[in-house]
Amino acid sequence: MDIESGSIRPWHDDRQEVSGLDVGSTPKRAHIMGIAGAGKTTLAERAGARLRVEHIDLDFLPLPFLNGDPQVAAAWRAEAARIAAEPAWVTASALCGWTDPLLEAADLIVWLDTPPPIAVWRILRRHAIRSMHGTNPHKGLRLLARFLRDVMRYPGGPIATDEQLDAGRGNSAATTRDRLGTYPDKVVRCRNNRDLDRLLSALEAKH
C-alpha cells in the first residue's frame, strides 16, 4: 500500500524494506512504541478514539519500577500477557522486552521514530507545565536528566540485552529494530506529523 494514496506506509530499516502493510480489516489491537517525548500517549488516545477501543499507557501501570529483579520483570511480562489476551486495545510504552507479548498479539505496531531534538523539547515543556500545576508524576531534576540522557543516547545505542531491558535500561533504536524485525508485516514507522496524520486517516477509513 502506498502512503501517497492515503494508506499506511510500511516501515523499513537498513536491513530490509517491506513492500506493503495489509490493513484490509480494522486493527483491534495496536501497540505504539518510541522514546520519551515521541508522542505515544497522544497517538494512543487518538488511535483509540478512531478504533473505538480502550487505550492504555503502560508506563503508568501500578507495578514496581523495573530494576533487574526477575520477579518484577516477570510481573510486567504477566501484565503484558494479560492485556494481550484481551480482544481489543491500544497500548503505548517506551520500553522493549517485557512488551513482547503485545508485539506478538498486535494487529498493528507503530514505531514513533521522533527526532531526539523534538523529543527533548517536548519533555522539557511537559516537565515544566506539570511541575507548575503540581501534576508531574516524574518529579525532580534527576528523573528529568535521566529522560534526556536516554533520549540523546537512543539513536546510536547498541542492542540491549534481556538483562538490561529487565532493569529498564538499554533502550535504543537498534533495540527497537531488533525487536520489530520479527514482525515486519505489521509495523509502521512514523517520523513526523505528516506520517501520523496519514496513519490516523487510514485507521479512520478502515473503521
153-185 tens-digit pLDDT? 888 889 999 999 998 888 899 999 899 888 888
Identify the pLDDT of residue 58: 87
Q: What strands, in cross-sheet order, belong to the sheet with 55-57? A: 55-57, 89-93, 29-34, 108-112, 187-190
Burial of 87 (0-12, 13-18, 19+ CB in 10 A): exposed
Convert the pLDDT of each residue in 48-65 to its tens digit: 988 888 899 887 888 888
Compute CA distances 23 → 9, 92, 144, 149, 188, whole Å.
11, 20, 38, 36, 11
Q: Which three cell numbers stand for residue 176?
A: 527497537
The pTM assigned to this predicted structure is 0.82
